[in-house]
């Protein structure tokens, strides 16, 4: 019964709230010490593989996340292209790679959503550590489980391409490892929170803990209560949605150098995110009665409240110091992301309500997912990377301009791809409806070139997102290896140790262009000089 | 040269240098040594990318206006890839593959340099 399932969700959130505020009365120290032990020492040699430097967990999650975002972006582009040309990569059958369009799109969604979730979790680790004032409890564990989660994405990617039972086995293995990773990350967050230096738990911390904890609790509750599929589908998107809101509510004040505009709106965002059901990503697996559909629609509509509250709070926070906020690409990315999230959520509200009733506008589901994943969560994750990665790694990103450029590329590419793919699906649905309504129309004779053109435009628009992901990945790698150490505000260009010159005149500019630095040793090589002397 | 109000207000060497160059141009009727400045405005790269995207959009427009004659695929241009790259997607995939190559090269370069 849906009402009981909703009450279970609320009870789960209440449990999290009580545990964070009160702790476990008698066993608090025991649980803390045991968790601490399992996080590092119990892992044995596994934990010794990594140093566990401050910020290394965030860096590992973000590097893995951006790599998977690149892979997801590339395959999303291919999937969009195959909408109008299913045989586009048929020539790869010579190396036994001949996936269908649906396979490529499924694999792309898995890789992209996993990658963006990793970026958000990486930012969440940094945010919780920073707001707690004590740093992440176990950086070693965070680094270790980032590799495990990356492996689950790889297993999921392979299983999406595998039709046999081995695909199911791989998918099951990926799911189990992913749950274990989430438990480890949640334990790390809770330990971090337990070591906080002040009493107040910030909204971002609530969202991080609840976003990871509530789906795990509902996963366990499902074994007992057999929860409604609509509840489980909403829980599947909650880690990403709540983490995204957490990052947005951190980056906006961070970039604006001003506290959040409204305490009430922040509280509303936290509370309503966990007591409502989001329609985002709903695929209609549930068989619902009319009463259930009405209740779900109310809960879906109520889920707009936290998103609108968070968007308003972020915008107004940026407005208090607009010049500083808009000068920072992280803040700009988050603001654009929040607008996109609200837009996609409103679209999902109709699509999600429709899936449990008439199923008339389900052709809009795929474009809406694209807007939410790349335009909304992708942009917020970009803001998280730009704001948190330098602080975590201790070095600035290689180029602020690249960060800004890639941000606009993702924003523009995702928006245009959404508009074109939505146009394509609407035209296609209209043709189908006309053909169904009029028996005299032969559906094979309808000119679908307009749909194909829209699909081409959508895929090319999305190509910019793929390229932007790759450029941002390179920006992060270069920043990690040779970015300016934070605090110095001075670039650390690579310079040659020694340069050989032939006699003659030159300029400092030419020497610098050749790779000379302040410490470069210059040798003037002159074969004839001795003879002339 | 006596600094004028503009030089004082900006206080920078750029204005002084510009006045010097302009003075030389008028006095000696000669062009400046360099026309390329040091500045790289933030929007310059964005403009470059938008230009490239505009060019791609025009390519698509070509396909719309002349539906009978498609844009040549990579395999049509490079005969070596005739059997492999027989779709327009490969023009774009080359860019993605080069991008992944750059990622690998950067990781390798950074690791070896350390």
**B4, B31: one domain:** yes
Q: Is B60 on the interface with A (CB under 8 A)?
A: yes
Chain A CB contacts of B96 under 8 Å are 74, 77, 466-467, 470
Distance from CA of A49 to the nearest CA of B (A): 17
pLDDT of residue A66: 96
Q: What is the dihedral of CA A445, A76, A233, A122, to 10 degrees?
A: -170
DSSP of A173-213 = HHHHHHHHHHHHHHHHHHHHHHT-SSSPPPHHHHHHHHHHH
Tally of domains within chain B: 3
Q: Is B100 on the interface with A (CB under 8 A)?
A: yes
Encode pLDDT of A393-415 as tens digits. 999 998 888 899 999 999 999 99
B107 contacts A77? CB cut-off 8 A? no
Spans in chain B with pLDDT lower than 50: 1-13
Quickly state the pLDDT bin for A281 (edges 50, 70, 90): confident
Percent of chain A predicted with pLDDT > 90: 51
Q: Is B40 on the interface with A (CB under 8 A)?
A: yes
Evaluate if residue A16 carries a pLDDT over 80: yes
A70 contacts B114? CB cut-off 8 A? no
For chains A and B, what is the number of CB pairs under 8 angstroms?
87
The answer to whether the beta carbons of residues A318 and A325 sit under 8 Å apart is yes
A91 contacts B86? CB cut-off 8 A? yes
Q: Once rounded to an integer, what is the mean pLDDT over residues A104-130?
A: 95
**B32, B16: one domain:** yes
Encode pLDDT of A57-86 as tens digits. 999 999 999 999 999 999 999 999 998 888
Give me the domains of chain A, ranges plus CATH numbers. 2-437+470-482 (1.20.210.10), 498-532 (no CATH)
**B80, B105: one domain:** yes
A residues 380-409 near B, CB within 8 Å? 401-402, 404-405, 408-409
Q: Is B1 on the interface with A (CB under 8 A)?
A: no
Nearest CB to B49 within list A405, A457, A466: A405
Nearest CB to B99 within list A94, A460, A467: A467
Quickly state the pLDDT bin for A529 (edges 50, 70, 90): low
pLDDT of residue A285: 59
Q: ipTM of the predicted structure?
A: 0.80
Q: Once rounded to an integer, what is the mean pLDDT over residues A514-519?
A: 71
For the record, the structure tokens of A224 come out as: 């007992």
Range list of H helices, A328-374: 329-355, 365-370
Distance CA A353, CA A25 (A): 42
pLDDT of residue A170: 93
pLDDT of residue A495: 61
**B114, B77: one domain:** yes
Taking Cα atoms as reference points, which of A473, A13, A24 lies closest to residue A218?
A: A13
**B46, B61: one domain:** yes
pLDDT of residue A433: 81
Evaluate if residue A122 carries a pLDDT over 90: yes
Taking Cα atoms as reference points, which of A352, A405, A350, A407 lies closest to residue A375?
A: A407
pLDDT of residue A422: 92
Q: A450, A463, A476, A493: which to substitute to probe chain B, counting the most B Cβ within 10 Å? A: A463
Taking Cα atoms as reference points, which of A178, A208, A176 lies closest to residue A193?
A: A208
Quickly state the pLDDT bin for A36 (edges 50, 70, 90): confident
Distance from CA of A424 to the nearest CA of B (A): 15
Q: Once rounded to an integer, what is the mean pLDDT over residues A160-167?
A: 89
Distance CA A472, CA A397 (A): 9
Sequence-distant (6+) residues with CB within 8 A of A321 are A256, A257, A258
Encode pLDDT of A293-328 as tens digits. 888 888 889 999 999 999 999 999 999 888 888 888
pLDDT of residue A353: 76
Quickly state the pLDDT bin for A140 (edges 50, 70, 90): confident
Chain B CB contacts of A402 under 8 Å are 45
Distance CA A193, CA A172 (A): 31
**B32, B1: one domain:** yes
Domain that holds residue B32: 1-39
Evaluate if residue A343 carries a pLDDT over 60: yes
Q: Is A481 on the interface with B (CB under 8 A)?
A: yes
A77 contacts B96? CB cut-off 8 A? yes
Distance from CA of A432 to the nearest CA of B (A): 23
**B60, B91: one domain:** no
**B84, B114: one domain:** yes
Average pLDDT for chain A = 87
Instruction: Read off the pTM.
Output: 0.82
Q: Once rounded to an integer, what is the mean pLDDT over residues A131-157?
A: 91
pLDDT of residue B7: 45
The answer to whether the beta carbons of residues A448 and A431 sit under 8 Å apart is yes
Task: Tell me how far apart the 2 most distant CA atoms of chain B are, in Å.
Answer: 71
**B63, B80: one domain:** no
**B46, B23: one domain:** no
**B101, B112: one domain:** yes
Q: Which residues pair with A498 in a beta bridge?
A: A521
B87 contacts A87? CB cut-off 8 A? yes
Encode pLDDT of A450-498 as tens digits. 788 888 889 989 999 999 999 999 999 999 988 888 865 444 555 666 7
A residues 459-478 near B, CB within 8 Å? 460, 463-464, 466-467, 470-471, 473-474, 477-478
**B26, B57: one domain:** no
Give the residue with greater pLDDT, A187 vs A281. Answer: A187
Q: Is B49 on the interface with A (CB under 8 A)?
A: yes
Chain A CB contacts of B110 under 8 Å are 477-478, 480-482
């Amino acid at each position: 019964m849906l009402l009981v399932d909703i009450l279970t969700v609320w009870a789960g959130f209440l449990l999290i709230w009580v545990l964070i505020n009160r702790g476990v009365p008698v066993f608090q120290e025991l649980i803390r010490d045991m968790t601490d032990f399992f996080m590092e020492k119990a892992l044995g040699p596994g934990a010794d593989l990594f140093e566990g430097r401050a910020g290394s967990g965030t860096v590992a999650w973000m590097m893995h996340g951006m790599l998977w975002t690149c892979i997801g972006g590339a395959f999303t582009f291919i999937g969009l292209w195959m909408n109008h040309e299913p045989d586009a990569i048929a020539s790869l059958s010579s190396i036994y790679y001949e996936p269908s369009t649906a396979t490529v799109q499924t694999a792309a969604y898995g890789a992209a959503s996993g990658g963006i979730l990793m970026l958000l979790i990486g930012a969440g680790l940094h945010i919780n550590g920073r707001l707690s004032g004590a740093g992440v409890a176990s950086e070693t564990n965070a680094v270790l489980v980032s590799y495990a989660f990356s492996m689950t994405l790889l297993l999921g990617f392979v299983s999406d391409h595998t039709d046999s039972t081995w695909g199911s086995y791989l998918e099951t293995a990926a799911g189990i490892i992913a749950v274990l990773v989430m438990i480890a990350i949640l334990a790390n967050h809770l330990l971090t929170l337990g070591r906080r230096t002040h009493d107040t738990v910030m909204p971002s911390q609530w969202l991080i803990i609840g976003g990871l904890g509530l789906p795990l609790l509902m996963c366990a509750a499902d074994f007992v209560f057999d929860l409604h599929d609509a509840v489980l589908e909403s829980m599947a998107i909650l880690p990403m949605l709540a983490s995204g809101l957490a990052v947005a509510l951190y980056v906006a004040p961070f970039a604006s150098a001003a506290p959040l505009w409204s305490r009430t709106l922040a509280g509303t965002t936290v509370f309503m995110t966990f007591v409502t059901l989001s329609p985002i990503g709903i695929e209609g697996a549930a068989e619902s009665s009319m009463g259930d559909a009405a209740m779900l629609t109310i809960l879906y509509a109520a889920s707009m409240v936290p998103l609108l509250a968070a968007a308003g709070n972020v915008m107004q926070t940026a407005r208090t110091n607009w010049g500083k906020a808009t000068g920072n690409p992280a803040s700009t990315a988050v603001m654009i992301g929040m607008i996109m999230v609200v837009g996609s959520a409103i679209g999902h509200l109709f699509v999600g309500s429709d899936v449990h009733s008439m199923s008339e506008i389900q052709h809009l589901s795929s474009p809406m997912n694209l807007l939410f994943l790349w335009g909304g969560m992708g942009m917020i994750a970009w803001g998280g990377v730009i704001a948190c990665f330098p602080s975590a790694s201790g070095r600035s990103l290689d180029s602020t301009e690249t960060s800004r450029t890639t941000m606009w590329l993702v924003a523009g590419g995702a928006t245009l791809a959404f508009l074109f793919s939505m146009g394509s699906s609407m035209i296609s649905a209209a043709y189908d409806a006309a053909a169904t309504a009029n028996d005299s129309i032969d559906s094979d004779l309808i000119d679908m070139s307009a749909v194909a053109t829209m699909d081409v435009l959508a895929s090319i628009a999305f190509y910019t997102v793929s390229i932007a992901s790759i450029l941002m990945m390179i920006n992060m790698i270069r920043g990690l290896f040779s970015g300016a150490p934070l605090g110095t505000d001075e670039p650390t260009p690579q310079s040659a140790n020694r340069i050989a010159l032939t006699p003659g005149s030159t300029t400092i500019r030419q020497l610098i262009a050749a790779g000379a630095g302040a410490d470069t040793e210059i040798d003037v090589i002159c074969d004839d000089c001795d003879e002339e002397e | 040269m006596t600094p004028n109000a503009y030089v004082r207000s900006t206080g920078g060497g750029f204005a002084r240098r510009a006045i010097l160059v302009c003075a030389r141009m008028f006095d000696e009727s000669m062009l400046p040594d360099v026309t390329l400045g040091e500045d790289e405005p933030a929007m310059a790269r964005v403009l470059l990318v938008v230009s490239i995207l505009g060019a791609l959009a025009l390519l698509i427009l070509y396909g719309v206006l002349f539906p009978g004659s498609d844009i040549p695929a990579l395999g049509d241009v490079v005969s070596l890839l005739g059997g492999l790259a027989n779709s327009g997607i490969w023009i774009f995939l080359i860019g993605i593959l080069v991008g992944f190559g750059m990622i690998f090269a950067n990781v390798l370069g950074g690791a070896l340099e350390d």
